Amino acid sequence: MRQASAGGARPRAARQERPGLAGSAGWRVLAVVAGSALLTAASAAAVTSLLLHPPQFHPAAARGPRLGAAPAAPSSISLRRSGAHPPKAAPGKLFLEAPEGAAMGELRVTLLRFGEVARSRSGEALRDLHGDEIAALEFPPGFYVARLSYAGRALPEEVVEVGAGGAARLRPSAKDLAALEYRAGLDSAKRGGDADILHFRRAAALDPEQVDAHLQLAAYALVHGSPREVREHLAAVRRLDPANPYGSRIEGLLPGRKRQ
């Protein structure tokens, strides 16, 4: 039989493994506490319980929150909804407008997007459309390149933005349309007839500062015996271009004028 050590026999419970003690050092402390005659039974039980179940220490909690620290960002996983998709943007509208005095039926547009002919929300190709056709369609939001034409002749390209749920408007320059009307009048005059006069009148209505259109109209009125109309157009020529030689020549052909 082995003899007990000088410190007294170890309690049987002390030899059982307890999760609260770490290594042999913990066992030695427990043995001293249990065998000490200086501690009462209640004190020994309290110290033993503390050793067997030490309190958990959290350094971050002890320090408290740092000043100026940003709050923790919520998990991205918790923000995602299973099967959710971003809502589609509402379609927009586009209107093609013509300045006063233009022939609306002669104005057409082709819309491009990403270098190709664009399509409406319902899938129609947006190629060579007139105003009523454009107004009846809905468009995915974004930027479009507008290729405009008037009376079969190209106008400068424009960029238009169609906003979600909004309405955009295309309105070509009146001066650009007037220039095309004047060219159309010259082409018509080569074929004969009086169809050219309609284009010259549109050109003057679209751009009252179109001197050549006023000269053409003055000459036409002179041939057709309308001296009052001749004087009206020549007055515009004198106001816009006082030194224009053609205005002086037409004015010299008016009835009652003395020829020099």
Residue range 194-220, pLDDT digits in tens: 889 999 999 999 999 999 999 999 999
Do 158 and 184 belong together in one domain?
Answer: no
- Overall average pLDDT of the 216-231 stretch: 94
Give the separation between CA 196 and CA 178, rounded to whole angstroms.
13
Do 250 and 231 meet the contact criterion of CB atoms below 8 Å apart? no
Domain boundary pick from 125, 142, 172: 172
Q: Are 201 and 218 in contact (CB under 8 A)?
A: no
- Are 165 and 180 in a shared domain? no
Identify whether the C-beta of residue 188 lies closer than 8 Å to the C-beta of residue 195.
yes
The number of domains in the chain is 3
Q: Which domain holds residue 238?
A: 175-252
Closest CA to 101 of 220, 200, 184, 196: 200
What CATH code is carried by the domain that includes residue 105? 2.60.40
Instruction: Name residue 30's amino acid.
Output: L
Q: Comparing 193 with 250, which gets the higher pLDDT?
A: 250
For residue range 101-125, what is the model confidence (pLDDT) as tens digits? 999 999 999 999 999 999 999 999 9
Same domain, 231 and 161: no
Q: What is the 3-state secondary structure (H, E, C) of 227-249?
A: HHHHHHHHHHHHHHCCCCHHHHH
> What is the DSSP track for 85-153?
-PPPPPPBEEEE---TTS-GGGEEEEEEETTEE-B-TT--B--SB-HHHHHT--B-SEEEEEEEEETTE
According to the model, what pLDDT value does residue 15 have?
Answer: 47
Question: Is 70 strand, coil or helix?
Answer: coil
CA dist 203 and 199 (Å) reads 6
Per-residue pLDDT band at 55 (split at 50, 70, 90): low
Average pLDDT value for residue range 26-48: 48
Q: Is residue 163 part of a domain?
A: yes
Average pLDDT score, the chain = 79
Q: Is the pLDDT of residue 2 over 90?
A: no
Asked whether residue 162 falls in the same domain as residue 220, the answer is no
